[in-house]
Structure 1
Amino acid sequence: MDKNNRWLNTVGHKLKENRLKIFLILISVPLIVGGYHLFFRHSNTFQNPEEFKQWILSYGPFSIIMFVLIQVIQVVIFFIPGEVTQVAGGYIFGAFWGTILSSAGILLGSTIGYLFAKYFIKKYVLRMIEKRNLKRFKKVLDAGSNKVVILVIYLIPGIPKDVLVYVAGVSNVTLVDFILYSSIGRFPWILASAYFGEGIHMENYSAMIIIGVVAIALFIIGFWRGHSIIDFFHRIHKEKQR
């Protein structure tokens, strides 16, 4: 009886996993194909806020869906700079809705990227980790400090983020923890980017200057000292566990 139950549980688990894989394929393939099409056909559009706004609004009632899809795509294939689309969200929809829509798209894209890495491209991601010197990130994500590290990584500008969606997918961090702590870490910068975009549209140059100066200063700190900061929080967490 126990053997039969274990067999049924195993079969049930595999069926759920296979359904998830099919679902991911059905979502990911159109996103990747559409992403390449968008990037190569409309690459100049992303550099012009007003042109990008008119292009998005040309979809009428579906403009919100289109913008969220673009945010999903920029996380999944990370060719389109996330900061550009986040600023565009504030420029088109205002700071409040720009933040909400960007957050929704990034959350969906992060979930898809994490699951895709976990179930389809694990070997490729592990090779990428070796080539791109990302072993430190995987090491700390595999450790007990992963929640703190995820928060710090996404809170500090200047550290590569979208590629870490895939690193997290092949590490020991759970999907729930990854989405929760990366979303908390991303939020201040999504909000700041949206306010910056709104400032461009409203010609509020004082707000743009303040946000720009703070962002550049923190970017420099993150670029030069980001790895040291991550190692510091990792060491503190390990010492607390002893």
Structure 2
Amino acid sequence: MERDARKKIHMLIMFSLLVVAIALYLIIPSLRDGVNEAARKLVEADIEAFRDYLLSFGVWAPVVSFFLMIFTLIVAPLPAFVVTFSNGLLFGAFWGGILSWTSAMVGAAICFYIARSLGRPVVEKIVSKTALNWTDKFFERYGMHSVLLARLIPVVSFALISYASGLTAIRFMVFFIATGVGQLPATILYSILGQNANKSVLVVFWAFIAVICFGVLGAAFKPWFEKKFKKGEVA
């Protein structure tokens, strides 16, 4: 009974926050225009344009970046790497990396609790039923290691795994720690790449090669995972 009561409270809080966020977006023109502009630049994946957009906020740029990272993760599938790269470019690999990592962790936690509080029907509208069916097989096959494995594979959507985790029986702290560890390699890599974008061409070249290798490694593992799923279905 106590657990059901807590779940109802969580559902009420999440639903209220979503209603407030939507209401603010609809009521405040400047907020709506700003969100639309940010989403457009993220979809275009124009790093320089997004950097200039952040710079227009002056000392508030880190705060805006923080909330935009959360926005990209909740409203899947906007490319969060644009924010990470821009943070490295503006604030350096260290501070930009910390900003990207912490904001991504907050975004992951929010997605997790949205799913856990509001349930599968709501999540299906956000990430699609087909995507959730894929994660069902992934989690069934790899159990407690699923989150960490998914975070290490760049081709797997960060937001999708966060939402899907909230629909499983996984404990939040297990999800949170696996997410924190698993997303570090990509965060560090993109932050370094961003910091050196306007400096040594050689550094940028090798960072780019590293990103490509990281992506190829993930893409190479993806068919293997899918093959395992199919074997599991036959068995």
Do structure 1's residue 162 and structure 2's residue 159 form an aligned pair?
Answer: yes
Query: Which runs of 5 or more residues in structure 1 are unaligned?
Result: 1-9, 236-242
Match of 1:184 among 172, 181, 186: 181
- Kept in 1, the 8 Å contact 2:119–2:167? The answer is no
Match of 1:24 among 9, 14, 18: 14
Determine the structure 2 residue equivalent to 1:77.
Answer: 75
Query: Which runs of 5 or more residues in structure 2 are unaligned?
Result: 26-30
Identity among equivalent positions (%) equals 17
SS where residue 196 of structure 2 aligns? helix
Shifted more, 64-73 versus 156-165: the winner is: 156-165
Deviations 1:40-97 (A, max 9, x none): 3245544443443333233333222111001111111124201111101101111001
Q: CA deviation at 1:194?
A: 0.6
Q: CA deviation at 1:153?
A: 1.1
Please give the alpha-carbon distance, in whole angstroms, between the structure 1 residues aligned to 2:8 and 2:91. Answer: 39
Q: How does 1:43-192 map to 2 (within 5 A)?
A: 43=39, 45-46=41-42, 47-125=45-123, 131-142=129-140, 145-192=142-189
Please give the alpha-carbon distance, in whole angstroms, between the structure 2 residues aligned to 1:153 and 1:22. Answer: 30
Distance 1:21 1:146, change over 3 A: same
Letter in 2 for 1:223: A
Q: TM-score, normalised by structure 2?
A: 0.79
Deviations 1:156-202 (A, max 9, x none): 2222332121111111222211111022111110110011110113x
SS where residue 200 of structure 1 aligns? coil
- Kept in 1, the 8 Å contact 2:55–2:61? The answer is yes
- Kept in 1, the 8 Å contact 2:14–2:118? The answer is no
CA RMSD of aligned residues (A): 3.1
Q: TM-score, normalised by structure 1?
A: 0.77
Deviations 1:100-128 (A, max 9, x none): 00111111111111111111142243688
SS where residue 157 of structure 1 aligns? coil
Question: Based on CA coordinates, which of the two structures has the bigger radius of gyration?
Answer: 1
Do structure 1's residue 220 and structure 2's residue 210 form an aligned pair?
Answer: no
Determine the structure 2 residue equivalent to 1:206.
Answer: 202
Shifted more, 66-75 versus 30-39: the winner is: 30-39
Determine the structure 2 residue equivalent to 1:40.
Answer: 36
Please give the alpha-carbon distance, in whole angstroms, between the structure 1 residues aligned to 2:52 and 2:128. Answer: 42
Distance 1:100 1:90, change over 3 A: same
Paired positions, count: 222
Determine the structure 2 residue equivalent to 1:193.
Answer: 190
SS where residue 119 of structure 1 aligns? helix
Please give the alpha-carbon distance, in whole angstroms, between the structure 2 residues aligned to 1:130 and 1:41. Answer: 25
Please give the alpha-carbon distance, in whole angstroms, between the structure 2 residues aligned to 1:57 and 1:126. Answer: 35
Distance 1:101 1:129, change over 3 A: closer
Letter in 1 for 2:152: L
Determine the structure 2 residue equivalent to 1:240.
Answer: none
- Kept in 2, the 8 Å contact 1:75–1:82? The answer is yes
Please give the alpha-carbon distance, in whole angstroms, between the structure 2 residues aligned to 1:180 and 1:230. Answer: 25
- Kept in 1, the 8 Å contact 2:50–2:86? The answer is yes
- Kept in 1, the 8 Å contact 2:47–2:82? The answer is no
- Kept in 2, the 8 Å contact 1:141–1:172? The answer is no
Letter in 2 for 1:84: V
Distance 1:136 1:15, change over 3 A: closer
SS where residue 132 of structure 1 aligns? helix
